[in-house]
């Protein structure tokens, strides 16, 4: 049996899966990125090396990376496939759910919508410039209210009268929420209002002018939050499906893409125990001043990102 690895290095969390030839997940892991993608990937790989049997580790044929740190981590671990998270999510979801038409994805710093018709992506959109209405917003506001993210669901269910919170912008939403708290609204109503605000923000940004058709699949870290799922159900008036691996579908997708692009040689899943230094420098080759990212493995220059000509990257 051949095995394939997919790693999705997101802004908040790093996800990894190992799949077999039939796309079954044989191992998976979900850890925090903590703003240090290299450390997180090291940790993730070490966990896999402990968790997986020798049979699996010796028969890995491809490694794919996706997520916002895909290029950096891809170069460091020698990934065979490096692809954007939009494609990875679409492929991952379609492998689990053949008849999906709409994918709603809300992660730590971004949110996207992917529309699928007959197994082909026909439209997608991703939030630009601003992270309003994403996981980061939910978790920071929950912290302000002294509520664990995991408990949001419980509070949502308790709420009888959710407050209305402006959804367009996180900064306004926050001042709105403080105001509502100061005039004595209950905590559960505030939290329910927050969940609704995330959904409002999402529909304002993405749903406008698009046809949401069944089947709707909701994924990404925020989909684990039943409060937001319920709010989506109410808003879209549709059944919302959440896969049990909804937080891993990006990693699953990239593993499947890596599988289709795999060659006949084995690769090793390993991150050397050396210090990786990243330096972002302006290239001095000409007046263009390209920003080049130099990746050093110890003292040795491993690779560069952002180099545009033969003069640079030295």
Partner 1 sequence: MRIVSYPNIGEYERVVYNFLDRIIDKDNCKILRPIKNNKKILELGEHASPDNVCTPFKYTIGSMINSLENGANVIIQLGGGCRFGYYAQVQEKILKDDLNYDFTFINLYHGNKIDFVGALKRIKILNPNLSINKVLKELYLTLELLKFTDYITTYIRDNSCYVDDINEIKKIEKEILEDVLNISSIKEIKAKKEEYKAKIDNLLTNKEKKLKIGIVGELYSLMDPFSSCYLENDLIEKGYKIKRYTTASYLLLDKHKSEKKVLKQAQNYLRYKIGADGTESVAHTLELINEGYDGVIHIKPFGCTPEINAMPILKKISEDYSFPIMFYTFDTLNSDTGFQTRVEAFIDMLEMREKK
Q: How far apart are CB 281 and partner 1 at their closest, in Å? A: 12
Structure tokens at 178: 């403080």
Site membership for partner 1, residue 86 (CB under 8 A): yes
Q: How far apart are CB 86 and partner 1 at their closest, in Å? A: 4
Quickly list DSSP for 134-203. SHHHHHHHHHHTT--GGGHHHHHHH-SSPPP---S-HHHHHHHHHHHHHTT--HHHHHHHHHHHHHHHHI
Which residue lies nearer to partner 1 by CB, 234 or 308?
308
Q: Among candidates 91, 142, 116, which has minimal Cα distance to 254?
A: 91
Which residue lies nearer to partner 1 by CB, 125 or 145?
125
Please report, in angstroms and rounded to a whole number, the separation of the first and last CA atoms in the chain. Answer: 42
- Of 24, 128, 237, 265, the residue at the interface with partner 1 (CB under 8 A) is 128
Query: If DSSP codes are grouped into helix, strand and coil, which group holds residue 115?
Result: strand
Quick count: other Cβ atoms within 10 Å of Cβ 195? Answer: 27
d(C-alpha 38, C-alpha 47), whole Å? 14
Which residue lies nearer to partner 1 by CB, 1 or 120?
120
Site membership for partner 1, residue 121 (CB under 8 A): yes
Q: How far apart are CB 128 and partner 1 at their closest, in Å? A: 7
Which residue lies nearer to partner 1 by CB, 299 or 310?
310
Using the rule CB under 8 A, give the single segment among 21-29, 122-130, 227-235, 247-255 that binds partner 1.
122-130
d(C-alpha 100, C-alpha 93), whole Å? 8
Site membership for partner 1, residue 259 (CB under 8 A): no
Strand locations in 2-91 (E): 3-9, 13-20, 25-32, 60-66, 81-82
d(C-alpha 290, C-alpha 277), whole Å? 19
Which residue lies nearer to partner 1 by CB, 289 or 298?
289
Using the rule CB under 8 A, give the single segment among 46-54, 113-121, 131-139, 229-237 that binds partner 1.
113-121
Stretch 6-35 residues interacting with partner 1 (CB under 8 A): none
Stretch 192-221 residues interacting with partner 1 (CB under 8 A): 209
Q: How far apart are CB 156 and partner 1 at their closest, in Å? A: 31
Which residue lies nearer to partner 1 by CB, 75 or 224?
75
Which residue lies nearer to partner 1 by CB, 106 or 163?
106
- Of 41, 65, 68, 134, the residue at the interface with partner 1 (CB under 8 A) is 68
- Of 15, 42, 83, 96, the residue at the interface with partner 1 (CB under 8 A) is 83
Site string for partner 1, 261-290 (x = CB under 8 A): ---------------------x----xxxx
- Of 12, 51, 124, 145, the residue at the interface with partner 1 (CB under 8 A) is 124
Q: Among candidates 235, 212, 206, 215, which has minimal Cα distance to 112?
A: 206
Query: If DSSP codes are grouped into helix, strand and coil, which group holds residue 239?
Result: coil
Using the rule CB under 8 A, give the single segment among 27-35, 80-88, 138-146, 187-195 that binds partner 1.
80-88
- DSSP secondary-structure letter at 54? H
Query: If DSSP codes are grouped into helix, strand and coil, which group holds residue 220?
Result: coil
d(C-alpha 121, C-alpha 82), whole Å? 19
Instruction: Give the residues lining the site for partner 1 (CB under 8 A).
Output: 68, 83-87, 118-124, 126, 128, 209, 282, 287-291, 308
């Amino acid at each position: 049996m051949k095995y394939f690895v997919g790693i999705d290095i997101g802004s908040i969390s790093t996800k990894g899966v190992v799949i077999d030839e039939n796309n079954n997940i044989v191992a998976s892991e979900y850890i925090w990125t903590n703003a240090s993608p290299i450390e997180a990937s090291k940790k993730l790989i070490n966990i896999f090396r402990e968790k997986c049997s020798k049979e699996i580790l010796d028969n890995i044929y491809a490694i794919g990376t996706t997520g916002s740190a895909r290029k950096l981590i891809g170069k460091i671990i020698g990934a065979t496939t490096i692809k954007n998270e939009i494609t990875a999510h679409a492929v991952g979801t379609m492998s689990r759910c053949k008849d999906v038409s709409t994918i709603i994805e809300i992660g730590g710093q971004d949110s996207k919508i992917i529309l699928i018709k007959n197994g082909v992506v026909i439209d997608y959109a991703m939030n630009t410039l601003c992270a309003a209405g994403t996981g980061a917003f939910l978790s920071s506001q929950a912290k302000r209210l002294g509520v664990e993210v995991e408990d949001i669901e419980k509070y949502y269910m308790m709420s009888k009268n959710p407050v209305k919170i402006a959804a367009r912008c996180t900064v306004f939403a926050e001042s709105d929420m403080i105001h509502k708290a100061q005039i004595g609204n209950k905590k559960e109503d505030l939290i329910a209002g927050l969940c609704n605000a995330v959904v409002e923000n999402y529909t304002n940004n993405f749903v406008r002018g698009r046809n949401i058709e069944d089947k709707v699949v909701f994924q990404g870290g925020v989909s684990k939050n039943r409060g937001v799922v319920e709010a989506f159900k109410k808003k879209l008036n549709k059944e919302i499906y959440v896969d049990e691996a909804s937080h891993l579908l990006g990693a699953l997708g990239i593993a499947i893409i890596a599988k289709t692009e795999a060659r006949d040689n084995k690769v090793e899943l390993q991150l050397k125990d050396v210090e990786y230094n990243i330096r972002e420098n302006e290239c001095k080759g000409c007046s263009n001043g390209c920003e080049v990212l130099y990746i050093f493995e110890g003292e040795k220059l491993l690779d560069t990102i952002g180099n545009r000509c033969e003069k640079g990257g030295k």
